[in-house]
Amino acid sequence: MPREIERVLVTGGGTGIGRALVLEAARRGMRVALCGRRRAPLEETVAALPEGAAPLLIEADITVASDRARVVARIADAWGALDVLVNNAGVVMGGAADGLGDDALEDLFRTNVLAPMALTRDLAPLLAAARPSRVVNVGSMFGDIAYPGFAAYSASKFALRGFSDALRREWKPIGIGVTYVAPRATRTAAATAFQDLIAASGMSLDDPGRVAAAIWRAVERGRDDAYPLGLERLFVLVQRLAPKLIDRALTRSAVRGAN
């Protein structure tokens, strides 16, 4: 049976899937905190919330330790506990592996991997105070099926998936669950990084609101993971059981894209 969720924090809550997650959480009656690097998008999200929502808006860069400490302090002061942490903030990066500089690689992994790991650690006491509670890590289909032209981004999402699996096993005995979600391409500003892939494959983009609703359903049901319906689930199974088939298909795709 779905459990009632009271207090949630969504990182990257100013745009895209993060904004949709905040709006859907409020629609479901949850109290919401949202954080992000830029105040203006956060304020736009807050303006779209129903009257009386009373969110906590926290302008913070979670890759910075002092900002993370401020997020933790704000939630501790306001609520004293946290039912769900949604690690949604991230960057999308495409490009050939031999064309990515050190700064780009460090920013990618600092944002997509190190920051959610550190924030989860920092919020552990507040999650423990709300048990049963949950961590939600927003990954990507590229965290299961590594795509040519997105080697670094895929690696960051593989790392987040590995963190999720290990943390789930580590924290289950203490009453904190972990859900890893893997959306496919979604209609957000970040999708511009996938423009060439979208055009070449003819893939359709999911609506952020529908993605957010599916994520919250998975969270309320205590699921360990959530993947899109349709062929993507089959592709993930093939990747795990017969990866050579995926190798051949994606190698041909990469060669066609280079011509």
Give the pLDDT score at 1: 42
Task: Map out the domains of the chain as residue ranges.
Answer: 7-258
- What would the pLDDT profile of 72-97 be if each residue is shown by its tens digit? 999 999 999 999 999 999 999 888 88
Q: Minimal CA–CA distance to 5: which of 21, 24, 23, 28?
A: 28
CATH superfamily ID and name for 7-258 = NAD(P)-binding Rossmann-like Domain (3.40.50.720)
C-alpha dist (Å) from residue 172 to 128, 139, 164, 165, 238: 11, 20, 12, 11, 29
- Can you give the pLDDT at residue 258? 43
Task: Show which residues are catalytic.
Answer: 153
Q: pLDDT > 70: what percent of the chain?
A: 84
pTM (2 decimals)? 0.87
Q: Given pLDDT bands bounded at 50, 70 and 90, which one contains residue 253?
A: low
Residue 202, SS3 per DSSP? coil
pLDDT above 90 coverage of the chain, percent: 67
Distance CA 123, CA 135 (A): 10
What is the pLDDT, as a whole number, of residue 257?
45
